[in-house]
Amino acid sequence: MRLEARDLCAGYDAVPVLHGISLAVESGEIVAIVGRNGVGKTTLVKALMGVLPATGGQVLLDGVDVTRRPPSHRVRAGLRATYQERALFRELTVGDNLRLGGFAPSVHHQVLDKFPDSLSGRGTQRAGTLSGGEQKMLAAACAIVSAAPLILMDEPSEGLQPSNVDLLGRHIASAREHGSGVLLIEQHLALAERLADRFVVLEKGEVVEEGHAGDDHIHDRIAKRLVI
Amino acid sequence: MSRTTDTTWRRRLNALTLELLNGLSLFATLAIVALGLGITFGLMGVINLAHGEFIMVGAYVAFVVHEAGWSHWVSVPLAAGVLFVLGAVIEVILIRRIYRKPELTILATFGLSIVLRQLAELVFSKDFQSVPNPVPGATEALGVLFPTYRYILVAVALGTVVVTLLGFTRSKFGLVVRAIVADRDLAESAGIRTGVTNVLAFGLGAASAGVAGALVAPLGAVEPNLGLSYLPSAFLVVIVGGFSRLWGVLVGALVVAVVQTTLIHYYDAVWALIASLVLAVVMLQMRRSSVAGATA
């Protein structure tokens, strides 16, 4: 499966944030989107998912224009997303969140046991009462276990303790091995550099740098962009 | 002497039994009347001021069924069906444009209530119509005669309420509705078809109002303003029972029924109404405090 943005523009009310972004991600690869705060990374995920309507350009799934299709259509087509701020339905229980994620009760343990700080036995706990890190782990685990062809992950490592960041990295790499494509929005540069096959650097809602993991001095070029 | 005491006790016991049966009947009526509002207002957050008119339309369905010479019991599922379709259409053309906009919702549903009343006037005139009691007579229980239809109303109303509540709280559909209310964008991102779900949920809320209308039709006159008398009670029940849990409809109906029955018995209907309103204000205040405490 291939997700493609062509000259994608989006924003909030009268404030444009994305100014003609073009990029693509395919099943079986990890594309890291990096950039400083406020450059439009989260907005990009929302626009690709259709939660935020595009004000220009196109979103294509396997060449089919889905720009005007609702998020639910994109999910059914094979897209899955985890968000930075609202990872779970906080008012619902952990078990309810898993049911909504499409997991039958018999496989809930597969998701809950994905991280060592196991959430097993907490199916009836309200998701909003989990710590921020636990909510992030659960959302990431849901996305990874779903084995969706394409997963958009917005800052999945934020709020996680270092050992769980490493484990998260291994799970994301494992998802790629199993054929999922991952668009990884990540501030944790070391994690992004360890995982990504390709990099896209954003600045002020535009793509300013692209490269492959094997390109000469790619990490220096990215670091330079982020420091300036 | 002992014979006089015996008679007095029996009289008191009969009076108490009658009050309990009246209370049970009121509880069931309040629960079925408030059920739809519990779904649309409590669960979906839509302040539906046309809920009373949905009940009125249900009552007119019962009237039409009677005029056609059919059994009254046909009108209960028929009213549910008619109101489901009406509710679904209203959700599509009106409600879905004003979710999370309470001021617009109040104005729009108030306007809708006027339109529905005027339409009822145009079709049926302002005249009071009547739907005869399908089960006339009384049944004796615990030494007290009580209208048979009221027993049936209690059974059908509470049965409908419990089945609906179980459907909304135990099924995947109910979970999906709660997810949409909790976070619409996240629900969309989870692959939930929020548009279709909202149509179904609003339609089911309207359908339960239709059932309520068909059930209460034989209890009084069927006329365009019938819904106005039920709307405050429905809001009262939902406020007292709480917005966040649909089972609150049963709790709210029980509390309001106990308060009203007791005060009507010892004082009068005016004091019962005043007490109910005070109760609603206190519950609103307590809920606001608990929400503020939870978010502090």
**A85: which 2 tokens?**
């701020």
Show residues of chain A in contact with B183, CB under 8 Å: 86, 89-90
Q: What's the average model confidence in pLDDT over B31-59? A: 92
The residue among B242 and B160 whose pLDDT is bigger is B160
Q: Which of the four pLDDT bands, split at 50, 70 and 90, describes residue B101?
A: confident
3-class state of residue B89 by DSSP: helix
The residue among A13 and A20 whose pLDDT is bigger is A20
What pLDDT is stored for residue B289 in this prediction?
60
Percent of chain B residues topping a pLDDT of 70: 96
| Residue owning tokens 């209530």 | B113
Quote the DSSP letter at residue A103: -
Which domains does chain B show, CATH number per domain?
Answer: 11-291 (1.10.3470)
What pLDDT is stored for residue B270 in this prediction?
87
Least reliable range by pLDDT among B41-50, B57-66, B206-215? B41-50
Show residues of chain A in contact with B182, CB under 8 Å: 89-92
Q: What's the alpha-carbon Rg for chain A, to the nearest Å?
A: 17
Distances (CA, A) of A182 to A185, B147, B284: 9, 67, 47
Distance CA(A128)–CA(A21), nearest Å, equals 34
To the nearest whole Å, the CA of B204 is away from the closest chain A CA by 21
The residue among A219 and A8 whose pLDDT is bigger is A8
**A80: which 2 tokens?**
């899955």
Show residues of chain A in contact with B192, CB under 8 Å: 72, 100
- Contacts of the segment A196-201: beta carbons below 8 A, 24+ positions apart: A196/A30, A196/A31, A196/A32, A197/A29, A197/A30, A197/A31, A198/A29, A198/A30, A198/A31, A198/A32, A199/A31, A199/A32, A199/A34, A200/A23, A200/A31, A200/A32, A200/A33, A200/A34, A201/A34, A201/A35, A201/A225, A201/A226
> What torsion do the CA atoms of B155, B158, B162, B165 make, to the nearest 10 degrees?
150
Closest chain B residue to A87, measured at CA: B186
> How large is the ipTM?
0.80
Residues of A with CB under 8 A from a CB of B: 49-51, 70-72, 75-76, 81, 83, 86, 88-92, 96, 99-102
Q: Which of the four pLDDT bands, split at 50, 70 and 90, describes residue B295?
A: very low
Closest chain A residue to B178, measured at CA: A92
| Mean pLDDT, chain B, integer | 89
Distance CA(A200)–CA(B31), nearest Å, equals 58
Distance CA(A199)–CA(A82), nearest Å, equals 19
Least reliable range by pLDDT among A24-28, A30-34, A155-159, A215-219? A215-219
pLDDT at B187 over 80: yes
pLDDT at B243 over 50: yes
Q: Which of the four pLDDT bands, split at 50, 70 and 90, describes residue A219?
A: confident
Q: What's the average model confidence in pLDDT over A147-157? A: 92
Answer yes or no: are the C-beta atoms of A175 and A185 closer than 8 Å.
no
Distances (CA, A) of B294 to B280, B288, B291: 21, 10, 5
Q: What's the average model confidence in pLDDT over B122-149? A: 93
The residue among B1 and A54 whose pLDDT is bigger is A54
What pLDDT is stored for residue B29 in this prediction?
93
Q: What's the average model confidence in pLDDT over A122-146? A: 86
Q: What's the average model confidence in pLDDT over A138-151? A: 88
> What torsion do the CA atoms of B44, B46, B50, B54 make, to the nearest 10 degrees?
-10
pLDDT at B288 over 70: no
Show residues of chain B in contact with A76, CB under 8 Å: 191
Those residues with Cβ within 8 angstroms of residue A180's Cβ, 6 or more apart along the chain or in another chain: A27, A28, A144, A147, A148, A149, A150, A151
**B64: which 2 tokens?**
């039409």
Q: Which of the four pLDDT bands, split at 50, 70 and 90, describes residue B269?
A: confident
**Enclosing domain of residue A138:** 2-227
The count of domains in chain A is: 1
Distance CA(A151)–CA(A182), nearest Å, equals 5
Q: Which of B169, B186, B192, B291 to mutate to test the interface with A (most CBs of A within 10 A)?
A: B186
The residue among A215 and B234 whose pLDDT is bigger is B234
**Looking at residue A151, which CATH number applies to its domain?**
3.40.50.300
pLDDT at A189 over 70: yes
Q: What's the alpha-carbon Rg for chain B, to the nearest Å?
A: 20
Q: What's the average model confidence in pLDDT over B92-119? A: 93
What pLDDT is stored for residue A228 in this prediction?
55
Do the bridges between strand B144-147 and strand B138-141 make them parallel or antiparallel, or are there none, so unpaired? antiparallel
User: Is A101 in Cβ contact with B182 (below 8 Å)?
Assistant: no
User: Is A49 in Cβ contact with B189 (below 8 Å)?
Assistant: yes
The residue among B273 and A107 whose pLDDT is bigger is B273
User: Is B193 in Cβ contact with A86 (below 8 Å)?
Assistant: no
For chain A, count helices (H), then strands (E).
8, 10
Quote the DSSP letter at residue A17: E
Amino acid at B154: V
What pLDDT is stored for residue B294 in this prediction?
40
Phi–psi pair at A153, nearest 5 degrees:
-120, 120
Alpha helix positions (H), chain B: 2-37, 51-67, 72-93, 102-124, 148-170, 172-182, 184-189, 194-216, 226-241, 248-266, 269-295
Q: What's the average model confidence in pLDDT over B88-106? A: 92
Q: Which of the four pLDDT bands, split at 50, 70 and 90, describes residue B293?
A: very low
Residue A124 CA neighbour count, 13 Å, CB half? 1
Per-residue pLDDT tens for A22-72? 999 999 999 999 988 889 999 999 999 998 999 999 999 999 999 999 998
Distance CA(B72)–CA(B47), nearest Å, equals 31
Q: Which of the four pLDDT bands, split at 50, 70 and 90, describes residue B290?
A: low
User: Is A71 in Cβ contact with B188 (below 8 Å)?
Assistant: yes
What pLDDT is stored for residue B141 in this prediction?
83
